[in-house]
A = this chain, B = another copy of it.
Amino acid sequence: MDNTPLIFITNDDSTSAPGLRVLIEIMQRLGDVFVISPQGLQSGQAHAVTVNDPIRHALIKADGRAFNEYSCSGTPVDCVKIGLKVLLKETPDLLVSGINHGSNASINMLYSGTMAAAMEGALEGIPSIGFSLCEYGWNASFEHAKEPIYKIAKKVLENGLPDSTALNVNIPAISNEPLKGIKSCFQAQGRWDEDFDSRIDPRKQPYHWIKGKFVHDGLTEGSDLHALENNYISVVPVQTDFTNYQALELMEGDFDEN
């Protein structure tokens, strides 16, 4: 039996994203890789699954166990499901998603296809991590991110993660200052303040583009936004149980009827 770790790689920026290629390159230092990524852009797809249409996949590269790559017509979560349930013959030792072009810190987590893929891996009992770079450009530099990503992935490969928990790792964009380090954090509060760009098409019909700016109520120490603002990589453990236990206690009996 082959003891080389098998690493499952996916993303939401599609097969052609530079961030995916960098992640593959880093993971090849840690084990054999199985890659499956969406054929088209899937930003903002969150935990969407394709239930009303069929899903297709295409082989891109097959090199024994060392390197297998596929593309998939669906969402990032579809990629994880098809990869684990249709294509792979063994359970991977680690699942990584990214490197996303753009931040998934704070509330961006909710909209993120990158992080949804990692959450899906966690649901399947696989130690899973989503990596994101806080820069949108397709030509962003990932050089400064390579060693920290390698270290974090190696640690998770060795020690695992708590049940039903994935890591949301965000990396500051490259700057003149070197990164200060890595910090474990909680998810900062924030929201998107949308300001739709409304236009009229050639048939005189209105349509809207979502745009907006991310707003937050201050950079609380200990939060991912605070860490990133101070040039640290943020690592947030995120869970698939959404229950607000404090609220559950507070509202004890409020809604109950017997």
Contacts and interface: CB of A to CB of B under 8 A. Distances in A.
A250 B162 contact: yes
A5 interface: no
A36 to B, nearest CB: 13
Given A180-B258, A238-B243, A210 B81 contact: yes
A123 B191 contact: yes
Given A191-B123, A206-B56, A49 B111 contact: yes
Interface in A171-224: 180-187, 189, 191, 194-196, 198-199, 205-210
Contacts of A235: 255
A184 B256 contact: yes
Nearest to A168: B242
A134 interface: no
B50 A48 contact: no
B111 A210 contact: no
A180 B257 CA distance: 8
Contacts of A241: 186-187, 189
Contacts of A168: 242
Contact of A244 (B54, B57, B162): B162
Contact of A236 (B44, B183, B243): B243
A51 B46 contact: no
Contact of A109 (B44, B45, B75, B242): B242
Contact of A44 (B50, B209, B210): B50
Given A208-B86, A247-B162, A46 B240 contact: no
Given A41-B52, A43-B52, A164-B189, 5 more contacts: A46-B116, A78-B210, A110-B119, A189-B241, A239-B247
